């Protein structure tokens, strides 16, 4: 997958991108850091923010991220992992992010300018929330 680069730091990830994608991903990285207070790291070859532990129905567990960012061949993907036991956060933003392709936990878009900045900031803050304890 194009968005999964062989790098070891977030700075290397952004440096490998070509314009105009590089500027969009760098701006989105800055926005994610500001909205969530998460420091980025590399997970599965993409930018990741906020460590979390996934638990699958079959009992398997894995270390993952709350928010992920990948530059793919024809779009940018923003992944938001919903806290366990909640509805998928991203699907609530279909109307407020009409120029994006919204999946179960992914927002795909060509340019950062295609997204409403206020709706994007709200989505990021919601995606960064700690899961409620049971």
pLDDT (tens, 9 = 90+) of the chain, 134 residues, equals 456 788 999 999 999 999 999 999 999 999 999 999 999 999 999 999 999 887 778 889 888 899 999 999 999 999 998 665 556 788 889 999 999 999 888 999 999 999 999 999 999 999 898 755 44
CATH architecture observed for domain 10-128: Alpha-Beta Complex (3.90)
- Residues recorded for the chain: 134
pTM, entire model: 0.88
Round to whole Å and give the CA distance between 57 and 75. 31
Q: Residue 2's pLDDT is what?
A: 54
Round to whole Å and give the CA distance between 59 and 61. 6
Q: Residue 54's pLDDT is what?
A: 78
Nearest-10 crossing angle of helices 117-128, 21-36: 50
Round to whole Å and give the CA distance between 49 and 95. 25
Round to whole Å and give the CA distance between 131 and 123. 15
């Amino acid at each position: 997958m194009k968005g999964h680069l062989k790098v070891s730091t977030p700075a290397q990830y952004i440096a490998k991108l070509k314009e105009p994608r590089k500027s969009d991903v760098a701006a989105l990285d800055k926005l994610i850091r500001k909205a969530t207070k998460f420091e980025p790291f590399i997970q599965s070859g993409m930018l990741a923010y906020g460590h979390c532990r996934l638990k699958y129905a079959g009992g398997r567990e894995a270390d993952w991220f709350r928010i992920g960012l990948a530059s793919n061949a024809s779009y940018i993907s923003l992944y938001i992992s919903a806290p366990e036991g909640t509805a998928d956060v991203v699907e609530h933003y279909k109307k407020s992010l009409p120029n994006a392709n919204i999946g179960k936990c992914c927002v795909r878009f060509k340019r950062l300018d295609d997204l409403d900045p206020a709706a994007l900031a709200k989505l990021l803050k919601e995606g960064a929330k700690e899961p409620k304890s049971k």
